[in-house]
Structure 1
Amino acid sequence: METRTRTLFLAISYLFMFSFVCFVKGSLSFNFYAASCPSAELIIRDTVNSFSSTDPSIPGKLLRLVFHDCFVEGCDASLMLQGNNTEQSDPGNRSVGGFSVIDSAKRVIEKFCPGTVSCADIIAMAARDAVDIAGGPRIMIPTGRRDGMISLASNVRPNIVDTSFSMDEMVQLFATKGLSLLDLVVLSGAHTIGTAHCSSFRDRFEEDSRGKLMLADKTLDSDYAEVLMEQCPSGVQPSVKVNNDPQTSLVFDNMYYQNLLAHKGLFQSDSVLISNDSTRILVEDFANDQDLFFQNWAQSFLKLTTVGVKSGDVGEIRISCASTNA
């Protein structure tokens, strides 16, 4: 039964890939910059490599950056725009990092190919490369995205997943982005790398009369909960972070799913994936077969990075990622 399930998902993935490639040809394309800026992908990869070599947290930051960008206004680098009431000013985005990597790659590319490569494409390719550098699959994604010109803080909260979301809330939000239940489970695997502030899972604990934390969410492994309470005691500084994955925090692997089955998912939105029969089956499959996870990651990441893309005459190619050209 297990083998048939895996075979079915692979068949669906390959069928989707064929259909999706046909679809994106009208807007995005593979090797979009082959003639106009052939060094673009190499510059981006070298930049991600350079930053990651001095700061191992960079891959996780870049992966979170692409999620937060694509889920609001589509994959158009709207999150990069600075100013009052832009997406960056929303509390949910204040802890997003990796901007300096994108800005650095953009500056180098502008020297070789001015006004050619969008910040949106740089974000997507940098996240793709970050996964590879962290030990995940190396994949191709189409390019040709253009940069958006609208960035509003008010658009953030209704469009990003809160760590306390229920399964229904996540399914509904993902569906509005054209992402399926399978995509939800696969893309949640991004939590295999990266860090989180203590406040992001604080609702799983409560304080006793002496101000000491106690485990409130009994779905969380008690030993893991003790570790979290030691790292994030009551009154901890807002800047304190913990690893999303307590086992292999810097490696993009399938340990996230193994952690879920051991009741060691950091967020409530992680733990709910094993409370649903349909998603638990997928979690078990990915926990048992890293290759299967990687194959599905390639398809789901491709879908994520084409959410709401702007192309053709829509949007612009920014000279600086922090501001529009106008």
Structure 2
Amino acid sequence: MHLILRTLLTLLLFFSCTSASNSSSSDLSSDFYSLTCPNVQLFVRNTVRFYSANDGTVPGKLLRLIFHDCMVEGCDASVLIQGNGTERTDPANLSLGGFDVVESAKRLIEVMCPGTVSCADILVLAARDAVEITGGPLVQVPLGRKDGKVSLASNVRPNIIDTSFSVEEMAKTFSSKGLSMEDLVVLSGAHTIGLSHCTSFSDRFQKDANGSLAPVDASMEKNFASELMKQCPANATAPTTVSCDPVTPNQFDNQYYTNLLTGKGLLKSDSELINDPKAEAFVESLSKNQSSFFDSWAESFVKMTSIGVKTGDDKGEIRAICSSVNG
């Protein structure tokens, strides 16, 4: 009996080592930390809830943060790294937030499960929980990502969506990441929560002869455009933000799609989605059925958070601190 057990343990160790050295995105699994850190999801969820209870903007920040991470170097927490020339220094990332939430969760987890859980997995879980605590679905996400060792500002602009993009440009970027037109429309639904700076949609207005703003985008509903001009006056001296969803700004729901169909999409890139017949069909469908949106969101979110994952020891690491690589 002892010989049989010893043989089985030897085989298990062999296959574990083989799996680690030849790992890929298929190595991600929902129970990855079931033995090494079984309460990791509870630790992250409680941290997100604590910060969100004190600051209602946290869920939107975390959701935006995961997009800006996954679309550049893959979902490897490279956006969290600080330093000259890192992704965080690109102008598109200067307004990102939620870093303190991830760092706080990491510090807790390092006490309970030292050297075990990656910042990349913590970020994915935090973004997942941001959706759930604002009324969205609780998505079962696979885990096991390693943290990336590379973070370059020069990699940001070629890989992220700009608010001025056409639907064709957005679809091309998403396609390069293995995401479809449907994924583009579904994941754009992240704009059902969160805030946007006035500068992000200033190209939809222009100053008239009196120095006041006037809309130049005829697709915007008139009352919505007027309200935006009040919130973002031409003579504003401080950075101002407005809700991405003017109807249910703090609720993760399918209202975003109704907004698009009624001319209340905040960003030009939002409104572009109804300028393509295929994308518009998805928009209309999702606007009519929130359950369908939630199901589609879960599927597309898992696909996005599996982009370019690093699972082998030769490709990544488990950072001790999320804001800097080890060593």
Match of residue 249 from structure 1: 249
| Mapping of residues 120-139 of structure 1, within 5 Å | 120-139=120-139
CA displacement at 1:312 relative to structure 2? 1.9
Match of residue 13 from structure 1: none
- Structure 2 CA distance for partners of 1:282 and 1:148, relative to 1, 3 Å: same
Rounded Cα–Cα distance in structure 2 between residues aligned with 1:274 and 1:32: 40
Match of residue 16 from structure 2: none
1:188 aligns with 2:188: yes
Mark the structure with the bigger radius of gyration: 2
Rounded Cα–Cα distance in structure 2 between residues aligned with 1:317 and 1:222: 51
- Structure 2 CA distance for partners of 1:249 and 1:215, relative to 1, 3 Å: same
1:323 aligns with 2:324: yes
Q: Aligned letter for 2:45?
A: R
Contact 2:24–2:312 (8 Å) recurs in 1: no
- Structure 2 CA distance for partners of 1:24 and 1:128, relative to 1, 3 Å: farther
| Mapping of residues 32-181 of structure 1, within 5 Å | 32-181=32-181
CA displacement at 1:39 relative to structure 2? 1.2
Rounded Cα–Cα distance in structure 2 between residues aligned with 1:225 and 1:173: 29
Contact 2:25–2:311 (8 Å) recurs in 1: no
CA displacement at 1:25 relative to structure 2? 7.0
Rounded Cα–Cα distance in structure 2 between residues aligned with 1:239 and 1:81: 25
Contact 2:25–2:310 (8 Å) recurs in 1: no
Rounded Cα–Cα distance in structure 1 between residues aligned with 2:122 and 2:286: 29
Contact 1:79–1:151 (8 Å) recurs in 2: yes
Match of residue 14 from structure 1: none
Q: Aligned letter for 2:317?
A: E
TM normalised by structure 1 equals 0.92
1:1-20 CA-to-partner distances (Å, cap 9, x unmatched) read: xxxxxxxxxxxxxxxxxxxx
1:119-159 CA-to-partner distances (Å, cap 9, x unmatched) read: 00000000001100000001100000000011111111111
Rounded Cα–Cα distance in structure 2 between residues aligned with 1:73 and 1:237: 35
| Mapping of residues 235-246 of structure 1, within 5 Å | 235-246=235-246
TM normalised by structure 2 equals 0.91
Rounded Cα–Cα distance in structure 1 between residues aligned with 2:48 and 2:81: 20
SS in 2 for 1:287: helix
Q: Aligned letter for 2:116?
A: T
Match of residue 29 from structure 1: 29
CA displacement at 1:275 relative to structure 2? 1.3
Rounded Cα–Cα distance in structure 1 between residues aligned with 2:75 and 2:273: 26
Rounded Cα–Cα distance in structure 2 between residues aligned with 1:198 and 1:152: 27
Contact 2:24–2:310 (8 Å) recurs in 1: no
Unpaired stretches in structure 2, ≥5 consecutive residues: 1-22
Aligned length: 304
Match of residue 223 from structure 1: 223
Contact 2:24–2:311 (8 Å) recurs in 1: no
Q: Aligned letter for 1:325?
A: N
Q: Aligned letter for 2:205?
A: F
Rounded Cα–Cα distance in structure 1 between residues aligned with 2:167 and 2:257: 16
Contact 2:82–2:323 (8 Å) recurs in 1: yes
Contact 2:165–2:268 (8 Å) recurs in 1: yes
Contact 1:198–1:238 (8 Å) recurs in 2: no
Contact 1:27–1:312 (8 Å) recurs in 2: no
Match of residue 281 from structure 2: 281
